[in-house]
Amino acid sequence: MAMTITEKILADHANKKEVAPGDLVNARVDMILANDITAPFAIKQMEAIGSCEVFDPDKIVIVQDHFTPNKDIASAQQCKLVREFARSHRLTKYYDVGTMGIEHALLPEKGLVLPGELLIGGDSHTCTHGALGAFATGMGSTDIAAAMILGETWLKVPETLKFSYSGHLKKWITGKDLILFTIGQIGVDGASYKAMEVTGDVITSLPMSGRFTMCNMAIEAGAKNGIIAPDEITRNYLKERTGRTYRTYESDPDADYSDIIEIDVSEVELQVALPHLPENSKPVSEVGKIEIDQVVIGSCTNGRLDDLRQAGEILRGRQVSPRVRTIIVPATQETYRQAVAEGLVDIFICAGVAVSTPTCGPCCGGHMGVLAEGEKAVSTTNRNFKGRMGHPDSEVYLSGPAVAAASAVLGRIGSPEELERM
C-alpha cells in the first residue's frame, strides 16, 4: 500500500506495516515537550492519578520560555513548580534562564528532534519540527501527562494535503510570506486535522529557517502537522547538531492525497495578515498606510538568525520611527550570541531597537511588549487573534521580518522597497 511520509512515520511508531487516514493508533513517542505554561497542568494531572515516575527522563524536554525570566509572582510560582519537577525526576533536557530559548527554535538547534521521529508537545506550534521530516504535533496537557507516564499516545491518522511550490521568489520573500499567502488561499480551517505536506522546487532551495516557519504556521490552517521530506539541506543542518542516527521517510509517488495544491510563487509579494486572522493575508502594496505603535521581530516563527540578518540589512544605518516601539527577540541564546558576533545587535541598538533575552512573552501577550487599547503592531509572530498581544481592542498585523523592519522605520506598514526609494 502506498503511503505518505506522515502515514509511514505513524505506521512505524505504531508497529504496523501500514496505516490509512482515519485509523486510530497507539504510537510510541521519541520526545515529549512542555513549557512553563503547559507543564504545570501536566504535572498536576500526574499528581492527581498518583503517578510518581516518568517513562524516560531522557525523552522529556521542558523549556521555561513563556514567562521567563518571570514577569510576576504568579509566573514565578508556576516556574518553580516546573523547576522542582524537572529536578525531582532528573530530567536531562531541562532549560531555564541562561540556557533556554524559544522551545521550537531551541530543540532543532540542540539536535533533539530528528527526521522520522515522533514528537508531541504541550504547545500548538510543536508542528514546527515537521520541517526536519518528523511527525510533530501539539496536544493538551492531559495527553502530555499520560505520555510522560506511558511513553506513547493515541492518534487518528490524518489525511494529507500536498502543497507544491514552483517558480522564483522575489527579493525579500521568505517562508513567512509563502505560508501567509497559502493560508490566505485556503483559510484558517482549510487543512483542518490534515497533514500539510510541503514540496516543490522552491522548497528544496529554501533554507531551514524558512521551512521551520512554514511548518510552524501549519496549525494556523488547522492542520494536525506540517511536514517536509528531509534532503541535503536538512542533513547539513543536522550534521553540526547531532551524532545520533536517524531514519528518513518520503512519500510514495502513488500515495493518496485529499488534494494537491500547486502554487506558483513568482508573483507572490511580501504579505501582511490583517486583524484578526492569519487568513486575512494580502500583499503589502494593498494594505494602505496604516500607522503603527509597535513592531516585534522574533518568536518561534521568525526569531532565527536568518530573520535577524534580514532585519539588520534593512535597519543598518537607519533609525526606527520615534512613534514606534521596536522589540527584537533572538529565539535562542546561541542565536543571540551569533547576532552579537555578527554586529547585528549593534545595528539594532543604534537604530533605536530594544533587544530582548529569548522569550515568547510578546507573542502571547504575556510580557515584553503588551499592547494597550487601540494600539497597532506589526509582528513576525504567528497569530493575530483579537487580544492576542494585549488589549482586546488592539490590532496585530502579521508579516515577515522585511516588512516589520521597514514598517518600524516608516512608522506605518510599508515595504523595504519604499525605503530604497527614499
**Average pLDDT for runs of 10 along the chain of length 422:** 96 97 98 96 89 91 94 94 95 95 97 98 97 97 95 97 97 97 97 97 97 98 98 95 94 97 96 97 96 97 98 97 97 97 98 96 90 98 94 97 98 94 77
Residue where a domain stops, chosen among 205, 236, 263: 263
Residue 215 in domain: yes
| Same domain assignment for residues 285 and 377 | yes
**Distance in angstroms (rounded) separating the CA atoms of residues 385 and 391:** 11
118, 19 in Cβ contact below 8 A?
A: no
Q: Which residue has the cell 533609525?
A: 319
Of 263, 288, 321, the residue at which a domain comes to its end is 263
What's residue 365's pLDDT? 87
The burial class, CB within 10 Å (0-12 / 13-18 / 19+), for 351 is buried
User: How far are the Cα atoms of 112, 302, 368, 402, 418 from residue 296, in angstroms, in the given order?
Assistant: 27, 10, 10, 12, 20
Q: Specify whether the backbone of 414 is left (phi greater than 0), alpha (psi in -120 to 50) or beta.
A: beta
User: Would residue 151 count as lying in a domain?
Assistant: yes
**Number of domain units in the chain:** 2
Q: Hey, what's the cell of 7?
A: 502515514
46 with 117, same domain?
yes
Are 220 and 313 in the same domain?
A: no
Query: Both 238 and 375 in a single domain?
Result: no
Joined together, the cell numbers standing for residue 177 give 510570506
Domain with 405 in it: what CATH number? 3.30.499.10
User: With contact defined as beta carbons under 8 Å apart, do 32 and 47 qualify?
Assistant: no
pTM of the model: 0.95
At 422 the pLDDT is 72
Q: Could you give the CA distance from residue 197 to residue 133 in angstroms, rounded to a whole number?
A: 10
Residue 289 and residue 359 in one domain: yes
- Is residue 312 situated within a structural domain? yes
> Quick one: 404 and 368 in the same domain?
yes
Beta bridge partners of 63: 35, 95
pLDDT value, residue 23: 98
* Residues 95 and 194 reside in one and the same domain: yes
Cβ-based burial of 346 (10 A; exposed 0-12, middle 13-18, buried ≥19): middle
Q: Where are the beta strands (DSSP E) in 323-381?
A: 325-328, 354-355, 376-379
Residue 420 lies in a domain: no
Domain containing 292 equals 272-415
Strand 93-95 to 281-283 pairing:
unpaired
pLDDT at 421: 82
Are 275 and 397 in contact, with CB atoms under 8 Å apart?
yes
Q: Based on the domain organization, do 277 and 394 belong to the same domain?
A: yes
Question: Is the same domain home to 153 and 219?
Answer: yes
Query: Does residue 421 lie in a domain region?
Result: no
Strand order in the sheet with 135-138: 93-95, 60-63, 31-35, 118-121, 135-138
Same domain, 289 and 240: no
| Grid cell at residue 113 | 528532534
Residue 422 lies in a domain: no
β-sheet with 259-264: strand ranges across: 225-227, 194-199, 159-166, 259-264
Residue 286 in domain? yes
Which of 199, 233, 263 represents a domain boundary (last residue)?
263
**Are 200 and 156 in a shared domain?**
yes
Are 237 and 363 in the same domain?
no
Asked whether residue 110 is assigned to any structural domain, the reply reads yes
Q: Report how far residue 194's alpha carbon sits from residue 161's, in angstroms, rounded to the nearest whole number.
A: 7
